[in-house]
Homo-oligomer: A and B are copies of this chain.
Amino acid sequence: MSDSKPQRAVGVRDVAALAGVSRQTVSRVLNDHPDVAPDTHARVVAAMEELGYRMNNAARALGTHRTRTIGVLASDALQYGPSRSMAAIEASAREAGYWLTAAFADSGDGASVTAAIEHLRGQAVDGLIVFAPHARTLDVLDALGTGIPTVILHAAERADFSVDQRAGARLAVATLADAGHERIAHLAGPRDWLEAEARTAGFAEELAARGLPQGPVFAGDWSPRSGHEAAADVIASGATAVFAANDQMALGLLGGLRAAGISVPQRISIVGFDDVPEAAYAWPPLTTVRQDFEELARRAVARVIARSGSGAGGRTGADAAADADRHAADPIAPVLVIRDSVVAPSA
Task: Write the residues of chain A forming the contact surface with B, with a CB cutoff of 8 angstroms.
Answer: 54-59, 61-62, 67, 69, 77-78, 83-84, 86-87, 90-91, 94, 99-104, 115-116, 119, 121-124, 223-225, 227-228, 248, 251-252, 254-256, 258-259, 277-278, 280-285
Contact = CB atoms under 8 A, between A and B. Distances in A.
A62 B58 contact: yes
Contacts of A225: 277, 280-281
A228 B102 contact: no
Contact of A83 (B62, B83, B115): B83
Contact of A281 (B58, B103, B252): B252
Contacts of A121: 54
Contacts of A104: 87, 90-91
Nearest to A125: B99
Given A54-B122, A83-B83, A224-B281, 14 more contacts: A57-B123, A58-B58, A58-B59, A58-B62, A58-B67, A62-B62, A99-B123, A101-B102, A224-B282, A225-B277, A227-B281, A228-B280, A248-B278, A259-B284
A59 B64 CA distance: 12
A256 B83 CA distance: 27
B56 A59 contact: no
Nearest to A282: B255
A55 B122 contact: yes
Given A251-B282, A283-B254, A122 B224 contact: no
Nearest to A253: B281
Given A84-B78, A102-B100, A281-B227, A124 B57 contact: yes
A72 B123 CA distance: 16
B224 A248 contact: no
Contacts of A61: 58
A58 to B, nearest CB: 4
A252 to B, nearest CB: 4
B119 A99 contact: yes
Nearest to A94: B119
A12 B26 CA distance: 31
Given A56-B124, A121-B54, A255-B281, A87 B91 contact: no
A64 to B, nearest CB: 9
Which A-B residue pairs are the 9 nearest by beta carbons? Answer: A58-B61, A255-B283, A228-B281, A224-B281, A252-B281, A258-B283, A58-B62, A90-B104, A224-B278
Contacts of A224: 277-278, 280-282
A223 to B, nearest CB: 6
A94 to B, nearest CB: 6
A61 B62 CA distance: 10
A91 B104 CA distance: 7
A283 B223 CA distance: 15
B94 A83 contact: no
A312 B281 CA distance: 51
A102 B77 contact: no
